[in-house]
Amino acid sequence: DKNDKKPDAKAALKKDNGPSKKTPKITKESPTSHVVLAITMPSLPILCVILWLFFYECGSASPPPFCVNPDLSPLEQAVAQEQPTSVLCRITWSIRGTGDSSMDQQCTVAPAPGTSPRLGATSFGASNSRLASVKDRLSKPFKALASKVQQVNENRKKPRKKKSIEMFASAYTVVARTPPHAKLVSKVSSAVFDSVPDFRKRAAKVPWGGNSATPWWKSDGKEVVSSYLKIMNYPKDLRTGFPFKKCSKKPDQCPAHFALEHTLEWREKYRPWLISPSGVEENKSGYVYTRGTTPTLPTQDKSNGHSIVWIRAGVQRPQDPILFFRNILNTLDRAVSESLSRSNHRVGKFNCFFDATNAVMLSSIWVVPKVITMLQDHYPNRLGMVFLVHLGRPAEFILNFVKPLLTKEVRDKIVVVTADQREEILETVVEDGFLPDYLGGTDTYKFDVKDYYKDYYKGTTKCTDEEAKEYIKTMPYHA
């Protein structure tokens, strides 16, 4: 203290037989003028008590707080004090699709029953080495596991030998410079305009996905007419059994242009781009949505990739089967629109991936034949391929029920993906970055109903529940 006087400090030193010759002289400028440490014989008992508290009490069953480093975990505290303990640890390893891994460790520490936790002063100094030894022993199995995890991650990064795309030719589109059978296409277009004079005006009101940028009928309609003629096998006399339910059993079948008029009527009355409040509620968990594309062939433009429709049958059970399946048609219409927009109106196709995990749809199976009729009549040559994943017994039953209702061309497009083929097949037909994590991919997309149906919330694609079911009365053929 600055108020201390020098004589008092010197007197304190003289009282203990005076300072030694080596003791520095205390002056005003001396750095020791603020702190003076003197160890004398009467201080020895106090020093002994401090040492006893540190070495004896820190080794007791309940050591004082000053013995424990608050930064240490319970396990490290026990090891630091060399207390015999029983330790229960739960270690959780997480391996993500991206190849990253993490570990979560939770330990509970308690003294071992029937043991004496006391220890002597001589062994206390070995706590650091003891702690390192225990950590090393505990980490050995985890290091081995970490090595395996690293190997798995490295294998993921290696390019895999993909299955030949010839196996899934329908999943890809080759855009021709001139449509095949151009004369037949022109004849059907002319026949449509002769049969329905206001065909163009009406067709302009039923665009794909409700998007005016992707009209259902564009200019001369070559793209649409070509799709129908392909399903009809390009009949030279322009007589066909398509649509199958309406025309296949007629003796003279139907004129080719009838199928286009039939679809125009359906799009006007069904309006697949619209969604109702109950329809949004049916798909709040995202059991059906469109996202991503299929890779294109090396000779084709990348924009020609098919859209992808994901169906997760076990995510949400149908409350209203009619609206439940309307959501599927709504998504398919949107997928066609996105494909057309991406490819400058050249492709307009989709591949479908059906994840049958926990699928229970038997209560809605009566609607399936009606939906299939709509798909075959009004989306000809729009389907690339259907890939069925995690096919359990309920899904197998539905598949066996549906197959007889499908044409041979459609049946040939269905692929059942087995567990040993899953990774290789899905990597072949899904563009990098779009395979969902629930199928072993890296896409962590989470369905957001408000974002997915943002046009509905804006009011542009919204209808009432009654309007969504009007087709049952106005077009009983599909009811």
Nearest to 107 by CA among 91, 94, 92, 93: 91
Nearest to 305 by CA among 293, 290, 315: 293
Question: What single string gives the DSSP state of each residue in 205-267?
Answer: TS-GGG-TTS-SS-TT-HHHHHHHHHHTT--TTSEE--SHHHHTTSTT-EETHHHHHHHHHHH
Is 50's pLDDT higher than 70? no
314-354: pLDDT as tens digits? 888 888 989 989 999 999 999 999 999 999 888 999 999 99
Say how far apart CA 65 and CA 21 lie, in whole Å.
Answer: 43
Q: What percent of the chain has pLDDT over 70?
A: 63
142-167: pLDDT as tens digits? 666 666 666 666 655 555 445 556 67
The more confidently predicted of residues 13 and 256 is 256
**Overall pTM surpassing 0.85 (yes/no):** no
Residue 434: what pLDDT?
Answer: 94
Element housing 412 (H / E): none
Question: What single string gives the DSSP state of each residue in 303-321?
Answer: GGPPEEEEEETTT---SSH
Residue 117: what pLDDT?
Answer: 42
Is 410's pLDDT higher than 70? yes
> Which pair of tokens denotes residue 119?
């220890």
78-130: pLDDT as tens digits? 555 555 555 555 556 555 544 455 656 555 555 545 544 433 332 333 344 55
